[in-house]
Structures are given as C-alpha cells and as structure tokens.
Structure 1
Amino acid sequence: MPVVSNPLRALAGALISVLAVSGCQTLDDAGRVIGRADLVNDLAARLDRSTELTYSADYQLPGGRNASISQSQDPLRAAYTYPGGKLTVTADATTACDTSTRKPTCTVTAPQAANAEPSVAIFADMRKRGLVAPPVVVGLLTAAALDPDATIRQYDTTVAGRHATCVEVDQLSDAETAAFDACITGEGALGSFTGTVDGTELEVALSRYRDAVQSGAFDLPAGAGLIDRRADGQPPA
C-alpha cells in the first residue's frame, strides 16, 4: 500500500508536525504554552492512531438529526454521512454527494496528491450542515495552543459509554472561532463538539461506537447522478 494512500492520515500528520513545533514557542507564559502543546499532541496522537482503525460512529445533532463516520482499512477508505450530504474519501478519489434534493448528485474529484499541502477544505460542506471532522477539531486545538490569549481547561467524561478526554477553550483571538468544547475518546474518535466554527454553530455528540463497519457504508446514495471531474474519468472505488 502506498505510504500516502490515506488522505486523512496526511491531514493528521500535518497537524501533528505543527504541534511538535508549538512546544518550542517562547511566549510570556511558557509553562502554559507547553501544557497546551502536551494536550493537543496527545489528542493529535489519538487521532493519528484512529486512522489505523476500522470503526463506525453515530452522532446526534440538534433537532433530532443524525450523522455518522465510517472507516475501514482493507481497502482504506472513510465515509461521512450528514444531513443533506455524504463525503467518501479513498486512495483513488474524493466523492462529495448532495442528498438534499430528490435526486442526489455526487461529484468525484482526484485524491489529494502525495506532495500537496494537506487541506481540511474537503470538510467545509459537512461543517456547514452540522458535522465537524476530527482533523478540523485538532486544527482548532492547534490554533488554541498557539494563542496566548486562549484559556484551556481539561476534564474527563464518559460519552456513549466510553471514556473521553475533553477540553473547554475560551478567549480565542480568532473572531471566526468562538469558544468551543471538544471531547475525544480513548480510541481517537470524536466524542463530542460544541462551538462556532467559521460562523457555523455546531453541536455534535457521539451516540454509538462500533469496531466494525456495516456493508454499504461507502456506497453512493441510491439513484445518485455522478459528475466525474478526474482527468482519467475512472469510476469511484
């Protein structure tokens, strides 16, 4: 399997590389910065380990809406299902589906190049519709760790019957990201997230976690129209 066949691992790796530098920053309160770096490094490491797992997680959103994250290793792929949309990421393609209309439409694009700068832009649509991806949460923690005005409080809790490490972040300099609260389970799954990101209010809570993926989790929505924007025009894996 190619070393960079997992776009999600590339995202997590880029975040971890940033975190590794954060502990060396010289700010007014060095002790507090080091504490932040330790915390986000731990959470980033959990996220990195989770890319090696096969699992499915169900989430509850406000208004009785639901979302899910599924990931498998053979073949390596991940799927995010959320109100009005679905995103599937594989080594061969990124497929974004709009399921808000009677006939769903899926747009297939080429996977991120191995030497490209990792980007969390592929998660923008799902965030607007209520689901935040783990790499986005780690990115927020990274920014908070480097923000001298931010305050971070750590606590432990239980989410969907699983232990989780949580952080409550406030006083951020970034006006687009208000205070937020995030919990990550011991496996590295997103346990919960509450906050405002890029002007979108988010409230996500894990309701069920399984060490397996149901058949069909990575299938395109039934009856979906397909727009293939890859140069080779190969069907999505």
Structure 2
Amino acid sequence: MPAASTTLRMLAVSVIASLTVTGCQTFEDAGSAMGRSDLVNDLAARLDRALELTYSADYQLPGGQTAAIVQAQDPARSAYTYPGGRLTVTPDAVTRCTATNGRMACTLVAPPTPGSKPTVALFTEANRQGLVTPPVVVGLLTAAALDPQAVIRQSDTTVAGHHAACVEVQRSDGDFSACVTTEGVLGSFLGSVDGKPMELALSGYSETVEKNAFDPPAGAGVVDRRPGGS
C-alpha cells in the first residue's frame, strides 16, 4: 500500500476510533442536548459559509497524489486543482483544464449567474478525479440530516494543526465520515461519492492566495467558448 494512502487510512482510523471509543454518541441517546441533525446541519452551514472566505488548502489523496482548493473574495473566485486537471470559477468564466499528452488544455465557458453559488454539477470532473469538493460534502451532510434512519456519531480532532469537528454517518445508501475545521474548511473525507470511493485529508492551510491562482496554467492551450469569445 502506498505510504500516502496508508497515512490517509491511519487518519480515518484515528477519527473513527475517536468516534467509537471516546465521546461517541448517537443523537438518539437519552439526555442529549443536541438534536440528531443539529451537528450535521451546523457542519454543512460552516462549509457553506466558508465559500465567503479567502484561503488556500492543500490535500493529500491516496497513492501520493495531491489536490488543492483556493478561494478569494471581492470578487469571489475559486480554483480546484486535482490529478490531471483544474476547475476555476470567476465572475468572468468557468475554466476547465485537462492534462492531455503532458500539456494542459483549457476551455472557458460562461460563468454562473452573478450572485449565485456554484452548483454541484460543476464539480463532476473534480469528484471523478478524486477531489470531493465542499459543495458536494454539504449535500451529503444535508441529506444525512434529513434522513430519519441515519446513524450519526460525532467527535473532535485535529487535522493539519487545525481543530475540526467530525461526523461519522451510516446510511442505507452509503456511509461516510467528514471533518470540518473551525474556519469552515473541509478537513477530511472518507466515503463514496456517486459510487466512487473517495479519501482525502487536509495537509496545509493558509489565509493567503497567490496572485496568479485563478489564471490558466502557464503554457496551457485555451479555447474560449463564452458568447462572443474567440
């Protein structure tokens, strides 16, 4: 097993151990002051609010691969880098880049409606390549909160030096665990998305963003398919 995957699995085991041994409780436990859906709703809201933050986050994926999420505000911009490609969302365009024969090829399409948040559909390719994005995790948490049959356990942990609240969710359509840092950044995820096993862990976090973080990669071929584009 590659060392990076082993590290991720050790993190997942550590989180699950804390869920099942230290402080574990289902929300149906008698005397619990928190409703069964309160924590998952809180984590979903925390991730959603984080879309308004400026930060750079690096992630470790299985097999030694890496990914990154970068966000900035005024105007709101985001970039998701994953093995073999990158997705960038700005007020000017949605840019999808894919590595082809060792070179990035990027396509620009019209941006989301001003003032709207990116839809989950935007992140299909990122998910397919191993980067489960915060909007997708928000959807999973929201579905768990609405499922009366879901078993939800909670714990706290530290990921890349940042405190995080975690949940382990057991549902008929698939189990997952997720941690969200105090800042609202996705700290870790272990589970399946659209039938694909997903596993990542935060490895670095900064409240700064590089100036060219939202530009197409250097040397990339660019095709502009926006209305009026060339």
The TM-score range, normalised by the shorter chain, is 0.7 to 0.9
Report which stretch shifted further, 58-67 or 103-112: 103-112
Q: Does 1:74 find its partner at 2:74?
A: yes
Please state how far the C-alpha of 1:97 moved relative to its aligned partner.
0.5
Choose from 176, 188, 200 the match for 1:180: 176
- The 1-side partners of 2:117 and 2:59 are apart by 29
- The 1-side partners of 2:115 and 2:204 are apart by 36
Q: Contact 2:180–2:188 at 8 Å: present in 1 too?
A: yes
- Corresponding residue SS for 1:126: helix
Q: Does 1:229 find its partner at 2:225?
A: yes
- CA-based RMSD of the aligned residues comes to 2.2
Q: Deviations over 1:166-195 (max 9, x none)?
A: 01011x233xxx211100000000000011
Q: Does 1:195 find its partner at 2:191?
A: yes
Aligned-residue sequence identity (percent) comes to 62
Q: Deviations over 1:185-233 (max 9, x none)?
A: 0000000001111111111000010010123222212221112221131
Q: Contact 2:48–2:138 at 8 Å: present in 1 too?
A: no
Kindly tell me: are residues 137 and 117 of structure 1, through their superposed partners in 2, closer, same or farther at Cα, counting changes over 3 Å?
Answer: closer
Please state how far the C-alpha of 1:141 moved relative to its aligned partner.
0.8
One-letter code aligned to 2:81 = T
- Corresponding residue SS for 2:188: strand
What TM-score results when the alignment is normalised by the length of structure 1? 0.78
Q: Which runs of 5+ in 2 are unaligned?
A: 1-27
- Count of residues in Structure 1 that have an aligned counterpart in Structure 2: 200
Kindly tell me: are residues 114 and 40 of structure 1, through their superposed partners in 2, closer, same or farther at Cα, counting changes over 3 Å?
Answer: farther
- Corresponding residue SS for 2:89: strand
One-letter code aligned to 2:54 = T
One-letter code aligned to 1:123 = F
Q: Contact 1:154–1:165 at 8 Å: present in 2 too?
A: yes
Report which stretch shifted further, 119-128 or 43-52: 43-52
- Corresponding residue SS for 2:111: coil
- Corresponding residue SS for 2:103: coil
Q: Deviations over 1:28-87 (max 9, x none)?
A: x8x99x824322331133123322221100000001111111111133211111100101
Report which stretch shifted further, 52-61 or 42-51: 42-51
Q: Contact 2:48–2:134 at 8 Å: present in 1 too?
A: no
Q: Contact 2:180–2:187 at 8 Å: present in 1 too?
A: yes
Matches within 5 A, 1:141-180: 141-170=141-170, 172-174=171-173, 178-180=174-176
- Corresponding residue SS for 1:50: helix
- Corresponding residue SS for 1:79: strand
Report which stretch shifted further, 45-54 or 190-199: 45-54
What TM-score results when the alignment is normalised by the length of structure 2? 0.80
- The 1-side partners of 2:87 and 2:116 are apart by 20
- The 1-side partners of 2:176 and 2:100 are apart by 28
